Amino acid sequence: MDYINKKCEEKLGKILGNCSLVPVPQSDITARITFRPQSDSFRQAAFVRQRFITFYQRVASDLHIISVPGDLHEHNKLQRKFPTLIFEPSNNKLTVMGPFPHIAEFKEFLWKNHSTKRLVSKTPTDSLSNRISASSSAHKDPDDESCPICMETIVRNKKKTLRCKHSFCSDCLEKAFVYKPVCPTCGELYGTLKGTQPDGGAMEVTKNTSPLPGYEKYGTIVIHYYIPRGIQKEEHPSPGQPYEGASRTAYLPDSPEGRMVLGLLRRAFDQRLIFTIGRSTTSGRNNTVTWNDIHHKTSTHGGPTHYGYPDPEYLSRVRDELKVKGIE
């Protein structure tokens, strides 16, 4: 939460709306979060809680922490150069926290400047601040390029440069792409993203003439999802353990944009991105089929706080969520 409070304050405010977030420390490393709406709306608090969980998981899963030599003076200079990172000085060291791509950029910056300074001086005064000052005028050896994944020098005949111009050790990149086919530095997608949605499910679509609030000129698209129960595979949280299936219903307006989103959702379903296996946010049970981070409208009425309509920004939001996964 420290990183979110310091670096994601604006996004957090948009998610909370008129709810307040009350952290209750449980220990040095854990805290319980309570959501308190200004009105007595349990559904609103539940909706905000779900959005916060998705947001928190996205941020937390990408955070990395490293420790490097440095002092308070260097901390101030680095903070200006890398505003998305948090620098905490302690005992002549800096603890650095931030998203993996930015940590990788920071480590590459340190490595390049350290290597350059070492060529012109081997004195004990080779401090981090000296290396920062030297970076603007030092000559860079094009052969001494480090891999942002392993931080080792890239061997020339094992170098892989992506379309986005970022380079890696070919072995490191191959292993990273097994997990997710995106550039580890900038996040550009390469290939088709596959999720961990259990096999054997079905997505069926029906239509009716009843309009959704905000789309009075159109009928309604009704999506029926069914995922049967089964046994978890190696890609799931508890391989070999059984999981509970799920049956879900979602709604879209039968408008041109709604039909476009339906096509995108069908592609996401075929790529196993709609569901995953985890902990149910409603029942609290583990080893059950749950929504992944592509939001659906599971009610026809009630607005955003009831997961329903009207919500004029929903179709745009879900298209953005799908675009991140390479579906557009």
The per-residue pLDDT for range 213-259, each reduced to its tens digit, is 999 999 999 999 999 999 999 888 888 999 999 999 999 999 999 99
Helix, strand or coil for residue 313? coil
HSE-CB at 190 with a 13 A cutoff on CA atoms is: 20
* Residue in the block written with tokens 């499910």: 201
CATH of domain 202-324: 3.30.390.130
Alpha carbon 168 to its chain centroid, in Å, reads 22
- Separation CA 4–CA 60 (nearest Å): 9
Between strands 86-90 and 93-99, the pairing is antiparallel
- Separation CA 128–CA 70 (nearest Å): 6
- In the chain, which ranges are E strands? 19-25, 31-37, 63-69, 86-90, 93-99, 159-161, 167-169, 202-208, 220-227, 230-231, 242-243, 246-253, 275-278, 288-291
* Residue in the block written with tokens 């670096």: 7
Question: Which pLDDT belongs to residue 116?
Answer: 36
Report residues of the chain scoring pLDDT below 70.
Answer: 1, 18, 20-47, 49-50, 54, 57-58, 60-62, 70-75, 112-144, 179
The sign one gets for the Cα dihedral 281, 283, 286, 292 is negative
Quickly count: other Cβ atoms within 10 Å of residue 179's Cβ.
8
Cβ atoms of 291 and 195 within 8 Å: the answer is no
Cβ atoms of 140 and 112 within 8 Å: the answer is yes
Most distant CA atoms of the chain, gap in Å: 79
Question: Which pLDDT belongs to residue 42?
Answer: 55
Q: How far is CA 14 from CA 11, 51, 184, 303, in A?
A: 5, 10, 28, 16
Strands of 246-253's sheet in order across: 202-208, 220-227, 246-253
The per-residue pLDDT for range 78-93, each reduced to its tens digit, is 788 888 888 887 777 7
Write the DSSP assignment of 94-111 as a string of letters: EEEEEEHHHHHHHHHHHH
- Separation CA 187–CA 164 (nearest Å): 10
Q: Residues of 88-103 as b/e, b for ≥16 C-beta within 10 angstroms? A: eeeeeebebbbbbbbb
Residues in Cβ contact with 308 at an 8 Å cutoff, skipping those fewer than 6 apart: 213, 251, 297, 298, 299, 300, 301, 302
The sign one gets for the Cα dihedral 101, 103, 104, 106 is positive
- The structural domains of the chain, with segments of one domain joined by +, span 2-61, 65-179, 202-324
Question: Which pLDDT belongs to residue 210?
Answer: 96
